[in-house]
Amino acid sequence: MAMKTIEYVPVGGVCTKSIRVTVEDGRIAEVVFTGGCHGNTQGVASLVRGMDAGEAVRRLKGIDCRGKGTSCPDQLARAIEMLAGK
C-alpha cells in the first residue's frame, strides 16, 4: 500500500488557503480544504474520495472561478498532479 500526502498552498487568488490530499494506491483517500466556500469544498472533497486520482484530475483541471483562470477544484487537481510527480 503506497500512501502519499501533500499539504498544498493554492495560487491564483482562490479562497482556499490550503489543501491536504492523501492518495493511497492511486485512489484519493482524503481531501481537506482550509478556507474557501465550506459547502462547496466539502462537496468536492466528498465527491472525489475513493476516485482514481487521474480521473479526478481529468474532471477538475481547468475549472475557472470568476475569471481567475483557476478555482479551488482546479487547485485540487494541481495538488494531485504534484503528489503524483507530474
- Banded pLDDT at 14 (limits 50, 70, 90): very high
Question: In the prediction, which pLDDT does 67 show?
Answer: 95
Choosing among 1.25.40, 3.30.390, 3.90.1720, 3.40.50, the CATH entry for 3-84 is 3.30.390
Question: In the prediction, which pLDDT does 85 show?
Answer: 84
pLDDT at 1 over 90: no
Strand partners, 3: 24
- Give the tens place of pLDDT for each residue, 15-53: 999 999 999 999 999 999 999 999 999 999 999 999 999
How would DSSP label each residue in the chain? Answer: --EEEEEE---SS-SEEEEEEEEETTEEEEEEEEES-HHHHHHHHHHHTTSBHHHHHHHHTT--STTSS--HHHHHHHHHHHHHT-
